[in-house]
Amino acid sequence: MSRQSALRKSTIPLQANWSGEESSRTLISRAQNGDVDAFELIYNEHSGRVYALCLRLMGGDQTAATELMQDVFVRAWKNLGKFRGESAFSSWLHRLAVNAMLENARSDKRRVARVLPMEDTSQIGAFAPGDSPELRIDLERAIARLPEGARTAFVLHDIEGFQHQEIAAQLGIAVGTVKAQLHRAHKLLIQALDR
Amino acid sequence: MKDDTIDEAKLRDLMNEVSALPTSIEPPADAWGKIRAEIEKTNQSETARIRYWQNPVFLAAAALLLIAGSSAVTAIAINRRGAAVAREAEKQIAAAPDTNTGPASLAQFTVVESDYLRAVNDLSATLESEQDSLSPETIAKLRASIKIIDAAILEARNALAADPANKTLIQMLAKSYEQKVDLLKRTTEMARS
């Protein structure tokens, strides 16, 4: 997969590719009734954003990110009946992704080893370049190299747009800790990117 | 003291770069295939589990176990005291509480279960001390019947662990306990008569 084809840059709302909110609800409803084909359409719509989140949470490790994303969608299928539509489906999926990542982290201590070392750029091919390729790759590499807590806070807050409170609740830590991790992430990223 | 402040201009630049990052990245092409396979596996095991407990054959078999317990009581009664006692036993079985009025939830049943277990222990102890007054044949039939009912209890218990909200299973379990208590009670009465 080339870098160019890997990029599916999205600046539009998640569900806009379907023919409106009604279609989205219909697909979810069909999937809730056991329609796997409808679930595949949901996957096609959301997998890019979920994979981007997983890739960043997993420090750029494509294998781990793919496994995490697959876990997220299998969990989503099993728990579709619990989705009542109170929140956006994309937010619900993102929460599943974070929960899955946290559970995996608890059960797989080896994940620490997946954090990329400074010189290792072999794993970051999935991060596609945009208008300024060097900047993007440098930034993705720097994010991947952040300590896990700082990286999680940064990805969820600055990239995914979660509020401090939401992140604290999801991670089971204090809001102050989230802010401190975020501050640390900013500081480390600025240092890493200071050219 | 270590300076922990962040240059605002640099932070702004960083945020500008972050906002330009792609929000969506294409996952590997074969990722969906594995998800679908996992979903289908999950569906199959779920279907099998539902089939197991909603299968009329299983339910009929479970009902037969209960009937077998009742029949054994009747058979013991006939051996021991003849047709008059058998008629009395049949009346008692007919008067047994309707399973539809049993505990509605596992939480309710757990409360009732401790009463059943206490009754079973008390009756078993009494029967143990008075078994000399029963024929070996009666004791053998009693043990066989208890074994059948215990198997039904174990089956229902295991199934409830997988499906705690299933009211049919809860009622089936309650009915099995009732049969066991009833069997022990009537056998103890026979031993004393």
Q: What is the CATH number of the domain that holds A176?
A: 1.10.10.10
Same domain, A23 and A84: yes
- Asked if the C-beta of B56 comes within 8 angstroms of chain A's C-beta atoms, the answer is no
pLDDT in the model for residue A109: 47
Segment A77-96 shows an average pLDDT of 85
Task: Return the residue matching tokens 């080893």.
Answer: A113
pLDDT winner (highest mean) among A142-146, B119-123, B189-193: A142-146
Q: What is the CATH number of the domain that holds A40?
A: 1.10.1740.10
Segment B132-143 shows an average pLDDT of 75
Mapped onto helix, strand or coil, the DSSP state of residue A131 is coil
pLDDT in the model for residue A186: 95
Q: Dump the DSSP string for chain B.
A: -------HHHHHHHHHHHHTS-S-BPPPTTHHHHHHHHHHHHHHHHHHHHHHHH-HHHHHHHHHHHHHHHHHHHHHHHHHH-HHHHHHHHHHHHTSPPGGGS-SSHHHHHHHHHHHHHHHHHHHHHHHHHGGGS-HHHHHHHHHHHHHHHHHHHHHHHHHHH-TT-HHHHHHHHHHHHHHHHHHHHHHHHHH-
Same domain, A55 and A114: yes
- Asked if the C-beta of B37 comes within 8 angstroms of chain A's C-beta atoms, the answer is no
> What residue of A is the nearest CA neighbor of B35?
A70
- Inter-residue contact A32 to A83 (CB < 8 Å): yes
pLDDT in the model for residue A10: 36
Confidence of residue B97 (pLDDT cuts 50, 70, 90): very low
Segment B105-126 shows an average pLDDT of 76
Interface of B with A in 1-20 (CB under 8 A): 4, 6-7, 10-11, 14-15, 17-18, 20
* Residues on chain A touching B7 (C-beta within 8 angstroms): 190
* Residues on chain B touching A194 (C-beta within 8 angstroms): 10
Confidence of residue B103 (pLDDT cuts 50, 70, 90): low
Considering chain A, what is the average pLDDT of its residues? 76
Number of structural domains chain A divides into: 2
Residue range of the domain that includes A168: 146-195
Contact A70 B18 (CB under 8 A): no
* Residues on chain A touching B25 (C-beta within 8 angstroms): 6-8, 48, 51-52, 55, 126-128
Please give the ipTM for the structure prediction: 0.73
Confidence of residue B48 (pLDDT cuts 50, 70, 90): low
Cα separation, A87 vs A97, in Å, equals: 15
Same domain, A33 and A107: yes
Q: Please, what is the Cα angle at B119 between B115 and B124, to 5 degrees?
A: 150
Half-sphere exposure in the Cβ direction for A97 (13 Å, CA): 31
Same domain, A151 and A97: no
Contact A187 B6 (CB under 8 A): yes
